[in-house]
Structure formats: C-alpha cells, structure tokens
Chains A and B, each alone.
Chain A
C-alpha cells in the first residue's frame, strides 16, 4: 500500500521550503482517495467549520445512544412498576399485544449500544470504513451472505409483528401440507407441520430467536473477552497468570452441561441460555484479544506514545484497543454462529420454552415424520444451515478486509 505515493511526485522529502502552502495543491500525490481533497488549497478550508461538524457527528451518536438508553430504561421501569405482572407491556386491542420479556429487553439494550457504537466507529473514520468495505466487497459470497443475514435480521426483528404467532394458527385439518417446491399450494409456501402451523410463521419466529441469541450472547462474550484480554495483557504478571488460568479452566469446562443443569433447575428460559452462553463463551475472544494486545504493546507507536507522555491507561485505550478492534469484530462475527447452533441444539433436545419457536425445536418436532413429511425438519434446518454458513463467510471476509498486517 506504500505505493500510493509515487516518489517522483513526492516533494516532501526535499529540504523544507518556506511557504509550502503556496505550492500548487495537486502536486502532492496522485492518490485517488486524496485527489478530492488536494484540489482545495489549505487556506480554502474553514477548519472551524470542519471541526464543528466532526465534533457534532460524534456527539450526535453519543447523544442518540444516551437518549435511546434513557428511553429504554424508562420503558423498562414502566414495564416493571406500572404494568401488572402477567399483563402485556403493550396492549392496543386489535393492533398489537406484546409482552416484552427479559431477553427482549436485553436484546433491545444490545441493539441500541451496538448500533450506536458501530455507527460512531464508521462515521469517525469514514475513509477507513470505505477501504474496509472495498476490501470486503471483493468476496462475492460474503456480500451475498451479508444481504441474507440483513434480511434474516430484519424479518426476525419485525416479522413477528407482521405474521401471526404459530400457536394461534393451530389447525389439524391442514396438517402436513406440502411446500411449493414439492407441489404444494402457494397458500402455505413452505408447507405446514403436524399441527397445521405454517412453516413460514415458524421460521420467522425462529429467526427472532436465533438473532436474539446470537447477537446478545456475542455482545456479552465480546465485552467480557475484551475486558479480560486487555486487562491481562496490560497488567501482566500475576493478574495475567490468574486470568489466563481461569480461561483455561473455562475452556475445559462443559458449558453445555452447565446449561442443561441450569435449565433443569430453573426451567427453560431463553434469557438463561443467552446469559450463560455469553458469560461462559468468551474465553476464545479473551485469549485472542490478549495475544493481539501483547503484540500491539510491542509496537513502535506504543513506545512513541509513552515517549510523548501518555499514561499507560491512555496507551491501552487509544493505541492498543483500536488496533485490536478489527480482530474483535472478526472474532465476534465468527462467535455468533456458535451461539446460534448451541441454542438450536438445546431446543432440539427439548430444553426450550413452549412459547419460543426455536428452529431447533421445529427440527426436533419434525424428525419423526421425516419419511412422510420431510419438509417439517428440512425447512428450518436449511435456514439454520444458511444462517450459520453466512456468518462464517462474513467473518472470513471481514478477517481478510480488516487484517492490520495488510495495511502496511
């Protein structure tokens, strides 16, 4: 990438000339990304305005995040204090009845924080983001996967408000309708299950479950992993030793068994699944962040920052973590499918809330009918397969696009 500035045009290495701002503005480089800016002279730019806009852009995201969080807390307070137990949170008869559950509150929180952070990251370094996107776009499969995931995410988010809860559509008279591909009618494009519930509705509600589990558990895992990893790398010595031995312990500890046990004790709950997966699934990310942070800690710019008078905390906050963020985003993308699959496995085994239409549960329900009605298990199975695979494709492409070693 250093070839961006051809030496022939490089005037900066000559002995310093006074009044360089008088120089023709376009002689600096032929870098395509800069050509736009080089057309203007330095004097022509109103820096106060530029700065004001930048300051505003950052505060805008922070303000939006704070506002949304306050709103969320207010709603949560309303739900907890005003709305009676067992009553739905939102109840407009005929339009919308929605009892927001604990895991949905958590999901909303994660969405608010996640969207605000990613938005801030992208607007703060727009050219860097554009470069990552150009790299990412080269991978066709990943782009297709990204669109698929966005669709799944959007449908999972709003779908349950559009399509009816499958349990309201129980009708044994229309059980085992074939999907369109097997010669069925367009009334039920994906067919129906043993109780006559349309598979499309089951799949849509399953998208919500998978997204909630994947996004929320990953958010918890990434937060814990980043904190533990950077603390271990930063403090070193005994702190590092203790934290990393705990990570070893957690890695060998069967979370799945713990989950089965917890679900047996407290009853099936999606919140429990999400929290336990998040709280015990961060060891890989923690280890990765630690090793990356150690590597970055040896970098010249860390020494340079120390030589410029930065405190150790400043160095970690402003130099180590931003350089690790690409790795974290990639690791997070690759962690999502693990959690999605884990939840589906639990649901397949029957450890699930009867109100939660997990793909795993639908697959399990249809497995007795595989010989006669293959589509009941296959349709949610295909969605699960595609979702997991799409996450892997996207993670892989992100890894290629954001690898800092390629930026040299």
Chain B
C-alpha cells in the first residue's frame, strides 16, 4: 500500500506539510474564517499537537487535510503536501484512497463514530474491504488481530459485539483498530479522550504511544487539554482564532513560551504552582476578526501597535528557528522584555478595563475537566 519510491524520494522532507491553509465557510451571515493561514508540518514518527480553545480552528485544520469538510459551504485553500503530493489538487477519488489507508482519523466521540447496526469486527473489516483485496475470511482474521492489538480482551468475542454493548473506552479502542486497519502513515486524532473519564483516558494515551512505536506512524493530535499535550507531544502548535500563535518543541512551549496567549493558557492549567488565572474576555468572532493581533483584545500586554494592521508574522523566539511565535514583541524593533514581566496596570490592557477578567472561568471547552 505504501509507495516505497515516493517515500524514499521525500525521506528528508516532512511527511505532511501544510502551508498557509485557509478554510473559510461562506454562510448567510458572512465568511467564517475558521482557519486563516495555518502552517503545520509533521515528520514521520512524530507527534504534533494542535492546541487551542473551542473555535480556534483545531478540528477544521485536522479535517481540512483530507478535505473532510463539505465544500461548499466550505472552501479550502493553501497547500497540503503529503508524501510529496499536493492533496489540495487531488481528486475526490484520490483522496478516498488516501483516507483510511495513508491518513486515518479517530474522532472525539467514539459512541457516535461507530455504526449501531454493525458489529465491531465488521466495522474494522470495512476499511480492509475498501482498501485491500483481502477475502472475507482474511479480513475477519485481520480485524480480530487488530482488536487484539488495541488491547481488547477476547477480541474474537468483541468482534461479534454491537457498539451499544461496549463501554466508552472499549468503543474508542475499536475506533483505533478501525484507524489502524489501513496501516496509516499519519493518524489524525481529534480529542480522542475528551468523551472518556480520566482513568480510561490514561489507558488510551498509553495505547496510542505503544501503537505509534509499533507502527511507526506520525500522529497529529488535536486537543484543548495541555495536560495531554505534555504527555504525548513532540511538537506543539498553538492555535487561536484560526491563526498560529506559537509553534515549537514541547519543552520550549512549556518552559519558555514566547506568546502571551500561550502563557495565559498555561496559567489556566491547574497544578503548576501559583494561583490559576483564567483568560478574560472571549475569543473573537470568526466572522469579523479584530484588526492587528487576534489576541490583542484579551491580551494584558497589548499596546496600541498590537491593534493595527494584520496578525503579526511568526518570528523566532530566542533566535531558535524551531520555536516561533506571532507576537509583535519578538520582532526586531520591539522590546520583548515588555511581555516578560507582570502585565502593566491599566494602560493599554483593554481586556482588563472592562472588569471581565474574573467573570468567566469556563473558557475551557469541557468544564468537567476541572477538578
């Protein structure tokens, strides 16, 4: 299934290169810029996390890669290079051969992703039926094997089980087996543990790590949960209002975040010492994004310059090319120490003026994650 020659030819390039991805939705109320110029690259065997609040464009980015977005009303532009091919140019038929076989998806809610009328085994075998020439018996055998690989006890029995007879964690494992059936090079997992409770979540994350080393897949992991990010990520991409705020290796993001937004997100995380701080205000409307930096209206450090022009370009933080942030204060001519200390009192900090700072503590998209 994997084309060896193209793989070798592109061995030095990332597996997936998304450049300047723009996914817009044309609605009656105007153009929703869900993803507005996002660039992400994923190398073979690597785990990249897309992090952000609800509505930041994480899921839309992930689904745009294999064009799972309905177009129209959606519209995807930019380049998506996967193993040297540009998927934005690919026909629907080509995309169908990529989906499930080379790029597989695991969705947030395993209860919905499984069809209630088919047994688990049949749903795993379905992918094999679409992408391989295996016979019925061979597909069945392979499906049971996959169910075994994802750590389900009695895989032969589970294969004959309907989704409603499985627990949430078991269902997510079945979804993983379905995703693995095509032996994908890239696994896109969209909040795979959000619908599960914490103990089950730990099991699924451990399983993902095991499977990644076993199958050598790259993983694009979409999540809002920074705790999960710390556990799984090699590389982190912080999204906000359809823009990349910061991108870099996981240690640098957690220990030397360059963007005030990233730091504000980290400050929301419980258990990192100090008082937890929520981010005041709300994410901007995707219909009518603010001028200047998208985060400026909520940024405690924002100055007049931040509210003018377009969103700042990504520039290296500390001169390291693998760690970039789109904050004005990292550009030459600005004093980055401005965003390093405590936020200035009053001044240009618009978000603090409206007294909304402590009014909202539910910016995180799933309140049940709070202890």
Contact = CB atoms under 8 A, between A and B. Distances in A.
Nearest to B114: A301
B11 interface: no
A139 interface: no
From B99, B101, B158, B167, name the one whose CB has the most chain A CB atoms within 10 angstroms.
Answer: B167
A15 B155 contact: no
Interface in A1-52: 1-2, 4-5, 7, 10-17, 20-21, 23, 25, 27-29, 31, 33-34, 37-38, 42, 45, 47-48, 50-52
Nearest to B99: A309
A5 B131 CA distance: 33
Interface in A340-380: none
Interface residues of chain B: helix, strand, loop or mixed (majority): helix
Interface in B319-347: none
B109 A300 contact: yes
Contacts, number: 171
B152 interface: yes
A303 B68 contact: yes
Interface string B133-157: 0001100110010001011111111
Nearest to A16: B151
A80 interface: no
Contact of A42 (B113, B154, B178): B154
B151 A12 contact: yes
Contact of B153 (A27, A37, A48, A309): A27
Interface stretch (A249-257, A267-275, A318-326): A318-326
Nearest to A311: B96
B127 interface: yes
B210 interface: yes
B202 interface: yes
Nearest to A299: B112
A51 B136 contact: yes
A37 B137 contact: no
Contact of A309 (B100, B107, B150): B100
B164 A1 contact: yes
Interface residues of A, number: 57
Closest 10 CB pairs of A and B: A16-B151, A300-B112, A309-B100, A308-B100, A13-B169, A307-B105, A309-B99, A42-B156, A304-B113, A301-B115
A171 B137 CA distance: 67
A38 B154 contact: yes
A128 interface: yes
Interface string B90-105: 0001001111110011
Contacts of B316: none
Interface in B156-185: 156-158, 160-162, 164-167, 169-170, 173, 175, 178-179, 181-182
Contacts of A318: 126
A355 to B, nearest CB: 45
A407 B117 CA distance: 9
A221 B40 CA distance: 52
A404 interface: yes
Secondary structure type dominating chain A contacts: helix
Interface string A282-310: 00000000000000000111011111111
Q: Identify which of A7, A16, A322 gathers the most chain B CB atoms within 10 Å of its CB.
A: A16
Nearest to B165: A4
A47 B137 CA distance: 7
Given A300-B107, A310-B96, A128 B113 contact: no
Interface in B62-79: 66, 68
A231 B102 CA distance: 30
Contacts of B148: 20-21
Given A308-B181, A310-B126, 8 more contacts: A1-B164, A16-B150, A33-B165, A42-B144, A307-B66, A307-B105, A309-B97, A322-B118
Nearest to A19: B148
16 contacts: A10-B170, A12-B151, A15-B203, A16-B207, A20-B152, A20-B155, A21-B148, A45-B156, A47-B140, A128-B162, A300-B114, A304-B114, A307-B99, A308-B126, A314-B130, A322-B115
Contacts of A407: 116, 162, 164
A309 B154 contact: no
A406 B105 CA distance: 27
Contacts of B137: 47-48, 51-52
Contacts of B141: 47
Contacts of A42: 144, 154-157
B157 A34 contact: yes
Q: Which of A15, A31, A128 has the most CB of B within 10 A?
A: A15
B281 interface: no
Contacts of B160: 37, 127
A107 to B, nearest CB: 30
B259 to A, nearest CB: 31
Nearest to A39: B157
A5 B165 contact: yes
B195 to A, nearest CB: 11
A2 to B, nearest CB: 7
A12 B154 CA distance: 10
Contacts of B170: 5, 10, 12-13
